[in-house]
Homo-oligomer: A and B are copies of this chain.
């Protein structure tokens, strides 16, 4: 997400109702990590090895969907409450964990799985940073 796009979002657009505004840099880093994880997971879900798809594909597809949903939720903060935001961040973290665990099982044979696992780890960290920022602001 480029700086111009982030700047276009006013304080009103990046705040939950009844909550102080979130740290814009932490939010932006999380949206970028979600977008990157969606792409890595989508690539991983269709990779072939010896002419066949990998057994992580189902987890990768759902992780891609969850990361996209999480990124979009962060672009529509007035529609979130602290409770729904926390629950969605937890779901995104849990789904990235599941996907990462499955990809790590064959990360040494597949560079795509290694890249996907790394994107999942980065997304988990970025979601946890948003949780920390929310708790600090509360």
Given contacts A83-B94, A94-B83, contact A5 B57 (CB under 8 A): no
Identical chains in the assembly: 4
Residues 1-17 (chain A) with a chain B CB within 8 angstroms: 1-2, 4-5, 8-9, 12-13
Is A133 positioned at the interface, with any CB of B under 8 Å from its CB?
no
B111 near A40 with CB under 8 A, answer: no
Is A112 positioned at the interface, with any CB of B under 8 Å from its CB?
yes
Distance, CA A12 to CA B59, complexed state (A) = 15
Distance, CA A60 to CA B61, complexed state (A) = 12
A83 neighbours in B (Cβ, 8 Å): 94, 97-98
Number of A residues near B (Cβ < 8 Å) is 63
Interface residues of A (CB under 8 A from B): 1-2, 4-5, 8-9, 12-13, 31, 35-36, 39-40, 42-43, 45-48, 52-53, 55-62, 64-66, 68-69, 71-73, 75-81, 83-84, 86-88, 90-95, 97-99, 101-102, 111-112, 115
26 residue pairs from A and B, CB less than 8 Å apart = A4-B115, A5-B39, A9-B43, A13-B43, A35-B39, A42-B75, A42-B76, A45-B61, A46-B57, A46-B75, A57-B57, A57-B79, A58-B76, A58-B79, A59-B79, A60-B79, A61-B72, A62-B73, A62-B79, A66-B69, A66-B73, A68-B68, A83-B97, A84-B98, A86-B94, A87-B94
